[in-house]
Structure 1
Amino acid sequence: MSQKFVVVDLETTGNSPKKGDRIIQFGAVVVEHGRITGRFSSLVNPLQKIPVFIEELTGISDSMVKEAPLFEEIAPQVSDMLEDAYFVAHNVLFDLSFLQEELLNAGQEGFYGPVIDTVEMARILYPTADSFKLTDLAAREDLKHDRPHQADSDAQVTAELLLIMLDAVKSLPVVTIRELAKLSEGLKSDLHLIFDDTLNIKESRIEHLPEHLEVFRGIAIRKRPIIENTGSKPIEYPETQEEKKALLQKAFSDYEIRQGQFELMDLVYDSFRKSGHALVEAGTGVGKTLGYLIPAAVFSLESNQRVVISTYTTQLQEQLLTNDVPKLNKALGAAMKISLIKGKNHYISMARFEQSLREIEENYDTALTKMQILVWLTQTETGDYDELNLSSGGTLYWNKVKNERSIFIKTKHWETYDFYQRAIEKAQNADLLITNHSMLLADLVSEKGPLPDYEHVVLDEGHQFEKAAGKYFGKTLDYMSVRLVLNQIGLYEQNQLFYKLESLLNDGSVLSADRHHTFEINQLISDLLYETEDLFKLAGSYARKAMKNKNSGSKIHASMIPDRENRTWMALRTTAERFYFHLRDLVEALEKRLEDARKRPDRFSTGQMALLEEVVQVKEDLEQIRSTAKSLFTDENRYVRWIEADTRSMQNSTTIFSRPVDVSEYLEGQFFSKKRSVVVTSATLAVNHSFRFIKRELGLKQVLVEKQIPSPFSYRTQVKLVVPDDLPDIKSVSDDDYVAAITEHIISIAEATKGRMLILFTSNEMLKKTYNLIKESGLLEDFVLIAQGITGGSRTRLTRNFKRFDKAILFGTSSFWEGVDIPGEDLSCLIIVRLPFSPPNEPLTAAKSGLIKENGGNPFSELSLPEAILRFKQGFGRLIRTSDDRGLIFVFDRRLVTTKYGDAFLSSVADVPVEEKSITEIVDLIHRWL
């Protein structure tokens, strides 16, 4: 490609040239004939003060730009350079709008040539990248980026990235480039010129496809990997410590002996061999994953029996496959047959994707996502959605192409490329099968589940298995999801799906005489919209009345108790009945429409087939909503039902839940009693050195082994555990007074530790109040405050941002108490605001407590306390992740040292003495310790 590209980066005093912000540094790199041919950079005097934040970000100060030229002095040179060039930048609209303004103010012509946005380009060419920030992309491509947020350095790295991406475009198959060229017309930058140019060159030559690719029905796709049956070498279990050490040294060249890991290996291997269940708590740093993977693999190869490994989250599944399995293969020197399987909707349907590719695309997000998927198909072996990094609009599009039963779209020709079927076939041949708890539960319930037969299981994160089962057997109905489906179908006059369906079928030759008239169905949809509003409005007011005297902030949750004397309940119940009868009628009417369409499939084009498929999908969604609503309002004694809402946007946030009060009998009858050996493991299973609580929760009656393997870390020398003695007792003051008191402590501790701090709350309300008070105080202005539920993004994204800044404080609630891994320097201080007891009025806790009382037990000692202790252990485990970590834990809840049950918390965690100190002494301690 012989075009000229000028890659530009600017540093500025702010985000808006219209509001008077100015350039403080200009950097440009010229790329011609596939290489860098020139550079130009200059500091610029903005004739205004540089804000402190910008100075911290860029390292550019007022004194540095004082003698620098004004922009009008360098403007002619900038204009000359941009002549007949592509304007390229990372997030091009920002740099271009700024430069345009400055060029025009300096009396120059503006720039009106083609533009390339390297963010947009990277989204398409790196569809699986974790992040599209320049620093992250540079790291991905091993580019040296030593001065981020300095214009010359950023421009240089962006230019190098551009060259790599231009090569990546050339290496794509011609059929892929052809589709990309079509779709790129609607992009924000002029990438269609790049794709068109490349296409012209490639079409003039004979193409030799790379070995790993093939083209089917005009789409380039990665060939199915050949599963070689290597007849894995039989391996004997390493009996002695020396043999175990030698085995693990193959996986890690610098392996340190960990007695606990050897002990775990023996326990797992023996449980499988003796066909018994085991409960093994493996403390942080034991090396749990390889500790169970090695014996599971050896047992599987020796006995020729499959072993299933189940985790709570799909992220942990991925981690097993990408991090731990390669180490396992290295250690065993044998190619194990290992497979990972997820729910069907995780996989792409190639028939649906091909169908949607043939439709003309006008939506930006959808066009971009189609382009991402086209590139991804040349790379992926699994077709698994979790590999992709899609925008929220892209996620909506995925729902159209995910793997689901198709009635109108013909899928037969794509059968060989069915990624879900491939995953199932691979699972049938696997020695080790990795899945997650909800997939395991789905398999138990269905007659012919997706998992092959198995007798031996490792439940990792086993303390979550009961919760996963409750969620799986429970039901959830929320306002936004119902509205989303109803908006999709729309009223006739709204020109949505229902209008399109009627336009397609109403030409007289398709509909049978006895069918509903259009206006009847339209009335049904209209009534249903009304009933939906009514149902959730009533659910919200029922919750508000039930909670009227309880102080719970803006988040409310109220048990739903059938009561004929309660007028709000009776109105809610009646509306719910009308709601699901209307749903039934609408589902039946749509089903009849589809029946008529099915009789005449020859009448429809492929685009019309796709429309009918969408109607099938919506009809199934409505059917699902109907059955959920019915079960939520039918009296089943073994279930607890409740309503949750946020008073700040009552309607939109209202959700109705049901969960079984107790899943232990089901798990015992359908799972534990039917499997030969289940090893339940986690870093937190025992309460006060006993497994009684977890056994009762899981319904585990017969256990061969119960064992706690302590962490190898020296907590006495690595951790200080402090309870401030100058904070009020949590029960003796109002929430606001308590927040004010802890805020002062947090500020003092943050200033002393210089950030790197994780604060764990038990309520969103208290988190928000504390965060706002700290922000308002202005005392931590040079700290980056990252808060769950306030700062946008998933848990993973929040954690990643936290690691990026030196002076950062991360505020988290429930999901941050576990599963967040921040090793080393990134986290040096942990604050636990309250002991993590579940609120006694939380509906599920209240129902479980009621059941314990009925059976003559004590809800506090049998439920609330053990649950809180396990959560506390999880939080405690966030701080020390390696043998070099050091850190401080502050527990602001004085109950840890003033109550009898405080001892149960302390004896359940590592042996660390508790120190009680005032804030002044705490600050001294921090300075000495860190």
Structure 2
Amino acid sequence: MMIKEKYVVVDLETTGTQFKSGDQIIQFAAVVIEGQQITDKYNFLINPQKELSSKIAELTGLTNAQLEQQPGFAHFAHQIQAVLDGAVFVAHNVNFDLPFLQSELQAAGINYVPQAAIDTVELAQILLPEAPSFKLADLTSYLNIQHLNPHQADSDALVTAQLFLYLQQQLLHLPQPTLQLLKYFTHSLIRQTGDFVELMIDQACKNPSKLPDYLINIQGLVFKKPQTVVNSTPMNSKYPVTTAKKSTIFNQTITCRPQQMKMMNFIQRKVSQQTPLALVDAPTGMGKTLGYLFPLSYYLDQGKQVIIATSTKLLQQQLIQESLPLLERLRQRQYSATIINSAHNYLDLDNFYQVLRHNFGHRQTDLVKMRIIVWLTQTQTGELSELNLTNYQSDFFKLIVSNGHRQSGLFYEYDFWRRRWQNALQSDILITNHAYLLDNLDTKLWDNKRVLLIDEANNILQQSLKPQAHLIFRTLKDALKKISDILYQQRVTIRNFFNQTRFNSWTHDDLLALDADFNTAKQRLEFLEADLLSNYLKKQIPLSKRKSEMVLTLSSEQLHHRTVKSLNKLAQDLQAILARLTKLLQLYEVTKTNSLLTIEQIIYQLKIQYQVLWQQEHQLEQVLAGLSVWQPDTGLMVMMQDYSNWDSISLATQMFNQNTIVTKLQEKFRTTIFIGAALQYHHSFRNFCQQLGIKEKLPKKDYLILKRDYDLNQQLQVYLPRDVANPRNNPEFDNYLAHSIARLLTNTTCKALIMFNSLATLQTAYQYLISTKISDQREILAQGITGSNQRIKKRFYLNPTAILLAANSFGEGLNLSAGELKLLVITRLPFEAPSNPLVQAKNNYWRQQGFNPFQVESLPTAVRRLKQEVGRLIRSPSDQGIIVILDDRIASTKYGERMYHELELPPYNNQLAISEIALQINMLLRTNF
């Protein structure tokens, strides 16, 4: 293959995806590239000699009438052969287009084998590592390539050719060390894509350019130099209390909204007065982010720092990318901000470098490595979520993520987690998430920062429905066994490798010592399982209730001393094993220069299991930490999934309210402000404070309840179908939902958000929808199925006709659509599943406190979630939308009526069937209400 080859970029439209089952080509398009220029285009419509399905007709825009007038494939076969002859074959998903075309040509008597075939999907995955999607339509949108008719072969072939030329330039302009590193993995790319990449690399390296000043090269790994973050320069500034003074500053950039102005003044007053605790309930769409950022900026002007804790990474990105630039435009000055989350969100450069050249034949792992190599030249944060991958749980990622404890290494000076930490110390605004804040309250990171603002604070209540620590016996046993098996089965190879070095550092005695540790830990685990089963589960759970998962919540008085002692001893056993394994892995790093592939594979597998073992030991430490400072509002749960399997036992700790946390927050910060769109219940913060464990009544001057600045009656239509099914004890409810959603979406093109309680129900609906013609007309996005949350959010934001299926926690507090969202379907009232062990434990806690769990916990929590769901639709005075509720309990139960009353929405229409509502939706959208 030569750089100046003739390339033919091909796209096909077909009657289906299975040529072996008789599917045929209905459109062939090709774009010829010579000398980096598009020189010719071809487009043939082809008669498949049969009717098109409605699905294919919808997808391609081609009609049977158009194709009936065209000849069959055999008529075009020799013309197509002439176009392809002597050219390199290029396609977006080449393993679809090429075999399909070869099959048709073969049937026409032509044996076509291209001299080379290149896939632009894999090229894009490597060279555009942060792209939210690699579908052709999404890539063209991402790169601003004009794409007139997606899913028509002539249009698709043209934009694929433009994409191919763009990707070539991206490749040629990468730093030479990066190119050389990529070359190591090109063998893993499909067909001749790797050969092409090698060819381009060789060309680029003939004329190497100087490394740009913003990049640094360490041992062939090229990445961005750290950016130093500093506080803004202190200045004298006076907060504008009156609306008139604010208007002068806003200067028509934004409109002064009364409720937002009220919130600004409240925040400024609480910070100035150093109020220990304040609460704000601010409805969605009223601009609450600017409502707190603007007054906080005057506090920052004093040279102070603030912490903002949010519930999701998406909200963090919104703060940095949208809200902060708006603040800076209003204030005519810059403020520094740093996002910091748990260490495992970041790439560890040393870990990545150590496993980089390990080659175990995993093609997808090699592709991810190539993406990361290119991404390092682009990322400033090292946060792996920027890659928009669907899975970060593979063994490979266990090895390359940071654990937050690196003290040395080749890349220590440039360690991403260390960079984050240093920048966070210097930033005006430190942005984190709730979980990291609450799990690390004692860290020095928060020192000298006196103001904490917790956004979407209703999410804090949900911490009590999450395990604080979770020790899984099966996972721990598996890790111990795998490590023991590896070391025993490969003992000769390991010993010989280390004996060949000058250290002679791993002997038979080391193996025996580890084996003794394994046996001790195994015996300890078996004793604990027997103890938990015999002395707790059997004694307190009757035989009739042992057929399903068992959950037992224990208080400190119910725990025997021997159980706690055994847990402590197990922690010591695991620490001893980890210490010996650490020594072995460190010795390997010192002596690995001439190691063989066999020893590399052994160490690779050991490192994976080491991470699993370390995580379980860490969970055990957290369990013990909870036990050592036992509080009446904290519980230890013993869970057993299968009574016949001892290894199905696990331990979890659960904090039933956050009183201890709130106390710590008040000790740590002078002012803590909770803000959310769903804090109040019954026009009061009483329930919110009760769930947090705050017993003292909050002074009226320290809380604020805001109202919408506009009337929803003219902007919103709400429907409850008269033929809606009852979800309770209805085994067919998931199927009913799927069909109902399809009926609502048929013949509509508006952006739609479908909210679910259960990911399993969501998956059922998704599988049904993609089998209908709706999937041919519109992009269907589904949480946990079609990509990461960030990737889905970006695609939903960009596509005006997209459908998003999401759980009730997705995109909390985010403006997902910039006013384009028109339809919200709530599939079920958002109650927690009563079978959830954490819910059961929490309910038991409330009963012990003398309260009704449904009234104190379940109902208020569902109301808050429902408010969040509804708040995603109408976010400004100009928005309009339609809500459909597919749960009859909103009308058939007293608590449902109460929930709807809390939402403060217009009265719902329950006179129409689902099919009639679908027609009504179309009419409303056509007339703009």
Shorter-chain TM-score range: 0.7 to 0.9
Distance 1:794 1:528 in 2: 41
2:660 to 663, 666, 675: 666
- Is 1:283 matched with 2:283? yes
- Give the letter for the 1:269 counterpart: Q
Shift of 1:32: 1.2
Q: Counterpart in 2 of 1:347? A: 346
Cα distance per residue 1:798-842 (max 9 Å; x no partner): 667777888876555443594565447854343434433334554
Moved more, 851-860 or 176-185: 851-860
Q: Secondary structure at the match of 1:69?
A: coil
Q: Counterpart in 2 of 1:720? A: 717
Contact 1:86 1:114 (C-alpha < 8 Å) held by counterparts:
yes
Shift of 1:765: 6.7
Contact 1:271 1:278 (C-alpha < 8 Å) held by counterparts:
yes
Q: Secondary structure at the match of 1:131?
A: coil
Matches within 5 A, 1:371-450: 371-390=370-389, 392=391, 396-404=395-403, 411-444=408-441, 446=442, 448-450=443-445
- Is 1:22 matched with 2:24? yes
Change (3 A) 1:469 1:331: farther
Matches within 5 A, 1:102-113: 102-113=104-115
2:593 to 577, 596, 605: 605
Contact 1:557 1:643 (C-alpha < 8 Å) held by counterparts:
no
- Give the letter for the 2:485 counterpart: L
Matches within 5 A, 1:453-602: 453-468=448-463, 471=466, 474-477=468-471, 482=476, 485=479, 489=483, 491-492=485-486, 501=494, 504-505=497-498, 509-511=504-506, 514-517=509-512, 520=515, 524=519, 558-561=550-553, 588-589=576-577, 591-592=579-580, 594-595=582-583
1:149 to 148, 151, 162: 151
Q: Counterpart in 1 of 2:323? A: 324
Contact 2:635 2:656 (C-alpha < 8 Å) held by counterparts:
no
- Give the letter for the 1:427 counterpart: A
Distance 2:209 2:434 in 1: 46
Calculate the TM-score normalised by the size of structure 1: 0.84
Change (3 A) 1:419 1:179: same
1:625 to 612, 616, 629: 616
Cα distance per residue 1:103-124 (max 9 Å; x no partner): 2222223123122111101111
Calculate the TM-score normalised by the size of structure 2: 0.84
Contact 1:759 1:810 (C-alpha < 8 Å) held by counterparts:
yes
Contact 1:512 1:596 (C-alpha < 8 Å) held by counterparts:
no
- Give the structure, 1 or 2, with the largest relative contact order (CA under 8 Å, sep 6 or more): 2
Q: Secondary structure at the match of 1:883?
A: coil
Shift of 1:88: 0.8
Q: Secondary structure at the match of 2:668?
A: coil
Q: Secondary structure at the match of 1:236?
A: coil
- Is 1:854 matched with 2:861? no
Shift of 1:577: 11
Q: Secondary structure at the match of 2:269?
A: helix
Shift of 1:126: 0.7
- Is 1:869 matched with 2:857? no
Distance 2:255 2:306 in 1: 28
- Give the letter for the 2:374 counterpart: V
- Give the letter for the 2:687 counterpart: F
Shift of 1:411: 4.1
Moved more, 795-804 or 683-692: 795-804
Shift of 1:97: 0.9
Shift of 1:530: 11
2:883 to 871, 889, 897: 889
5+ residue gaps, structure 1, are none
Q: Secondary structure at the match of 1:605?
A: helix
Contact 1:688 1:907 (C-alpha < 8 Å) held by counterparts:
no
Distance 2:515 2:647 in 1: 31
Q: Counterpart in 2 of 1:9? A: 11
Moved more, 79-88 or 477-486: 477-486
Change (3 A) 1:206 1:135: closer
- Give the letter for the 2:189 counterpart: L
Change (3 A) 1:519 1:711: closer
Q: Counterpart in 2 of 1:133? A: 135
Shift of 1:844: 3.2
- Is 1:905 matched with 2:896? no
Contact 1:510 1:600 (C-alpha < 8 Å) held by counterparts:
no
Contact 2:181 2:220 (C-alpha < 8 Å) held by counterparts:
no
Contact 1:341 1:427 (C-alpha < 8 Å) held by counterparts:
yes
5+ residue gaps, structure 2, are none
Q: Counterpart in 2 of 1:37? A: 39
Q: Secondary structure at the match of 1:735?
A: coil
1:94 to 96, 109, 116: 96
Q: Secondary structure at the match of 1:275?
A: coil
Shift of 1:666: 0.9
Change (3 A) 1:263 1:487: farther
Contact 1:138 1:144 (C-alpha < 8 Å) held by counterparts:
yes
Change (3 A) 1:322 1:767: closer
Change (3 A) 1:134 1:722: closer
Q: Secondary structure at the match of 2:462?
A: helix
Moved more, 205-214 or 638-647: 638-647
Q: Secondary structure at the match of 1:560?
A: strand
Contact 1:260 1:286 (C-alpha < 8 Å) held by counterparts:
yes
Matches within 5 A, 1:170-249: 170-205=172-207, 207-227=209-229, 231=233, 234-249=236-251
Moved more, 797-806 or 900-909: 797-806
Shift of 1:98: 1.0
Matches within 5 A, 1:303-314: 303-314=302-313
Moved more, 745-754 or 710-719: 745-754
Contact 2:464 2:655 (C-alpha < 8 Å) held by counterparts:
no
Q: Secondary structure at the match of 2:709?
A: coil
Sequence identity percentage: 28
Contact 2:829 2:887 (C-alpha < 8 Å) held by counterparts:
yes
Once superposed, what is the RMSD of the aligned Cα atoms? Answer: 4.7
Contact 2:529 2:646 (C-alpha < 8 Å) held by counterparts:
no
- Give the letter for the 1:418 counterpart: D
Change (3 A) 1:343 1:27: same
Distance 1:204 1:219 in 2: 20
Q: Secondary structure at the match of 1:278?
A: strand
Shift of 1:161: 0.9
Contact 1:283 1:709 (C-alpha < 8 Å) held by counterparts:
yes
Distance 2:131 2:770 in 1: 33
- Give the letter for the 2:326 counterpart: K
Moved more, 871-880 or 588-597: 588-597
Contact 1:86 1:113 (C-alpha < 8 Å) held by counterparts:
yes
Distance 1:720 1:149 in 2: 35
- Is 1:837 matched with 2:836? no
Distance 2:200 2:285 in 1: 52
Shift of 1:3: 2.3
Distance 1:186 1:369 in 2: 11
Cα distance per residue 1:490-538 (max 9 Å; x no partner): 7249978x88655644779323574443994798599799979999x99
